[in-house]
Structure 1
Amino acid sequence: MPSWSGIRKRMESEYLAESLKGHISYFVTSYSRSPDHEGRAAIRYNGKEIIKGCYYHNWTKAASFPKDEKYERHMSEEFAFMDDTAIKLGVFDQRCFYEAFDEFDNQSIEKSLYSENLIVRIFAVLDRRVGKRRLLTLKENIENEPDTFKEFFAIRVNAEGIV
């Protein structure tokens, strides 16, 4: 796996839509003094963290997860399942970003737009390969999307000047 600086460079210069360059930035850090170098991750828009997650939130916010079989199973998988609830609670860390980037980088943009991993879908909607026509197509079903995805979709369509 490439280093974070290499991944970030690719995400912000190779993949990011031209209209978002200088506005969207990806942030990941590992805390060298913590066990196993745990850390945090975020996506920033004009310097404000739109989503942010930290390894240590996994323990403090896990009690906020819905009590059903799906979440019990996903929690036991170390939060590998990134949906809107996990994103809003911030129960993801830098490893989730690495895994999401690996999935995103190794499949088509079409598969990324419909991935079960919400972080992958966010990477995809901010991607330069998603043009205005595809954004308009996605807009037709935006009401069915999670709130976090809608927020990033709105950032992208506004940057593209789509009403």
Structure 2
Amino acid sequence: MSWSKLKQQLESFLSPALNGRVEYRATGYRYLPDKAGLCYIAADKKNVLNMIDKTTLIRWYETELDIKNDAGIYIPITDEEIEAVRKGASGVIPEDRLQVMARSRKKAELAKQLMTAQASLSKSNFVVTANAFLSTSIEASMESNDILLNILALVDRRVGKKRLLNIAGQMKLKHPAVQYFYELRLST
């Protein structure tokens, strides 16, 4: 599918409150076949999510350690995760230390997922992901680990206020770009 037709379909799914505020843009280099071009999502005329560029409004993580040390990422842990740490450890460990260990394990898993998702952002992947978004259910897009699928689902008109409020806890575990568009959608 051509970019203009894809863009038209994506914009037809935009929430009425975000219509004109969120734009999908792409540049291509006709005479440079080794350059894939840039693709970005703009909100209020600002390039919020460039697919490769690290100079966006959203914080890009360089290493797993950046994610683990980011105080802005809150990781909720369950009793089952604490129990798994307790069973894996030998000896008696204080309860607060078990929570720290379980949270650290979960942050390591999250860091790997975020780094993988960030590495896959490019124009060609945007086109593939956008086509996948158009052919999958909104629930599958919301639950996906893909940053772009999450963003496209959050700005979609089929997602209502009630559903947005129900996923508030899940958004804390998502990439900052997804959190940005979640807050943008809640503010409308």
Which of the five TM-score ranges fits, normalised by the shorter chain? 0.7 to 0.9
Q: Give 1:78's aligned residue.
A: none
TM-superposed deviation, 1:86: 6.2
Q: Give 2:8's aligned residue.
A: 9
Rounded to whole Å, the distance in 2 between the matches of 1:88 and 1:115 is 14
Q: Give 1:132's aligned residue.
A: 161
Preserved contact between residue 84 and residue 148 of structure 1 (Cα < 8 Å): no
Rounded to whole Å, the distance in 2 between the matches of 1:142 and 1:93 is 23
Q: Give 1:42's aligned residue.
A: 40
For 1:60-79, what aligned pairs fall within 5 Å after superposition?
64=62
Rounded to whole Å, the distance in 1 between the matches of 2:46 and 2:137 is 29
Preserved contact between residue 52 and residue 87 of structure 1 (Cα < 8 Å): no
Rounded to whole Å, the distance in 2 between the matches of 1:65 and 1:120 is 23
For 1:47-126, what aligned pairs fall within 5 Å after superposition?
47-54=45-52, 64=62, 84-85=114-115, 92-126=121-155
Letter in 1 for 2:133: F
Q: Give 1:29's aligned residue.
A: 27
Letter in 2 for 1:18: P
Residue 148, structure 1, aligned to residue 177, structure 2: yes
TM-superposed deviation, 1:85: 3.9
SS at structure 2 position matched to 1:124: helix
Letter in 2 for 1:149: V
CA RMSD of aligned residues (A): 2.5
TM-score under structure 2 length normalisation: 0.64
Preserved contact between residue 24 and residue 43 of structure 1 (Cα < 8 Å): yes
Preserved contact between residue 117 and residue 146 of structure 2 (Cα < 8 Å): no
Unaligned runs of 5+ in 2: 54-61, 66-112
Runs of 4 or more off by more than 3 Å in structure 1?
A: 64-67, 83-89
SS at structure 1 position matched to 2:39: strand
TM-superposed deviation, 1:116: 2.3
